[in-house]
Amino acid sequence: MPAALNIRDMRADEAEPLGRLLIDAYSGLDGFPTLTEQPQYYDLLARVGSFADKPGVRVLVALAGRGELVGGVVYFGQMAEYGSGGIATSLEDASGIRLLAIDARHRGLGAGKALTQACVDLARRAGRAQVVLHTTEAMHVAWRMYEKLGFIRAPELDFLQQSLPVFGFRLQMD
């Protein structure tokens, strides 16, 4: 993690800016569905702060310098709250990661890795056997980061979100 990067739980006043950051990041991905194609998903991004109201869920933010919001992620301590398609929500020994996004101006500086590692650390402290996440082809750049952190493709966790293929990854904990 870069020295000037701070990872912590989102404050209430950061929910709206984080929602905008997520919308900007996801809508800028080549091949990712547009607001018109999946309005419910973009509404979910805008309301990212509401995840913090669910049991065992934490919304983490990455802050640079003097508190500039550079990214965020949602950590699910238990998969029942994860809210994806497929079988992931039935996994009892897992934690989950969703909605990782980094402001375009700060990509490549380690914030995504730091946020993902923070989630892995939370899962490890909770005694989880694995961490699950989902991603799409439009987010293929992030796949390399996940693999470097030890995640492997888990095709049994794949599903379709409308017509969009969503790919599962899992990290088996030591």
Domain boundaries, the chain: 5-172
Angle between helices 39-46 and 15-27 (to 10 degrees): 140
CATH of 5-172, one of 3.40.630.30, 3.50.50.60, 3.10.20.30, 3.30.70.60: 3.40.630.30
Question: For 48-68, what is each residue's pLDDT tens digit?
Answer: 999 999 999 999 999 998 899
pLDDT at residue 4, rounded to an integer: 82
**Tens digit of pLDDT at every position of the chain (174 positions):** 445 899 999 999 999 999 999 999 999 999 899 999 999 999 999 999 999 999 999 999 999 988 999 999 999 999 999 988 889 999 989 999 999 999 999 998 899 999 999 999 999 999 999 999 999 998 988 999 999 999 999 999 999 988 889 999 999 997
Cβ within 8 Å of residue 49, ≥6 positions away? 10, 12, 14, 15, 16, 18, 19, 59
CB atoms within 10 A of CB 138: 15
Local structure of 93: helix, strand or coil: coil
Tokens of 34: 């547009």
Q: Pairing between strand 130-135 and 152-153?
A: unpaired
